[in-house]
Amino acid sequence: MIQVAVCGASGRMGQMLIAAVAGAPDCQLAAALDRTDSPAIGQVVANGVVIGSELAAALAKADVLIDFTRPEATLAHLRACAQAGVAMVIGTTGFSEAGKAEIAETAKRIPIVFAPNMGVGVNVTLKLLELAAKALQTGYDVEIVEAHHRHKVDAPSGTAIKMGEVIAQAQGKTLADCAVYAREGHTGEREGGTIGFATVRGGDVVGDHTVLFLGEGERVEISHKSSSRNGYAQGSIRAARFLQGKPANLYDMFDVLGLNALSV
């Protein structure tokens, strides 16, 4: 039985993760964590677990920690997991380059699955984008449009950025060299070879992403739309299973789903 600890237990994603762990026949909720000032502290959730804030005590019971919180909190949890020898599934987005580098360095000590989106469908979409980017490299402009709920604090979404990274890598570039994140005023003609991003925020949109490959006389659109966070939660459970017995390393959802083995 995989002993799972969940961070951000009172949040929307945390509640979904707890339900997913409770519904998985091979997993057991070992601990549920929240901020020290959370009104949820002391509440009882699945498996009779009481929501607490003592990270060290939670990790002492866990095989893996699943974290969908904020970058600063996740990095603190990361350091604690490394000290305790506990594997980690990280779905948090909005990290700085320094934060990503710390995750990569820590993965030399513990196994980590780190992905901007844990959804199975999203990661299949990323593989399709890799194929499209190689085939449509010449004569097509690339634009990425994403929409999320009004409460999301980072933009573009981590998933949109990952889509851009996959496309850029497939075309032999780096996203940092070709991304365009904002357009305003007299911008001039679109520069060839760039990848544009557009962000929509509002309402309760869970997560919509569309990539457009725009050519002369035609366009190809590849979209993924989430209507529930349950897909992220189920993907996280698959990631937790994947990490059992794995050596220290930095993994992503392509590793979890076996998509790296598929050539395009």
Catalytic site positions: 148, 152
Residues 6+ away with beta carbon under 8 Å from 201: 147, 148, 149, 150, 152, 155
- DSSP states of 210-242 as a string? EEEEEETTEEEEEEEEES-THHHHHHHHHHHHH
For 174, the token pair is 């780096």
Which residue type sits at 148?
H
| Cβ count near 137 (within 10 Å) | 16
For 42, the token pair is 């002391």
Distances (CA, A) of 15 to 40, 47, 110, 149, 232: 11, 13, 26, 17, 12
Report whether 184 contacts 143 (CB < 8 A): no
Where does residue 147 fall: left (phi above 0), alpha (psi -120 to 50 degrees), or beta otherwise? beta
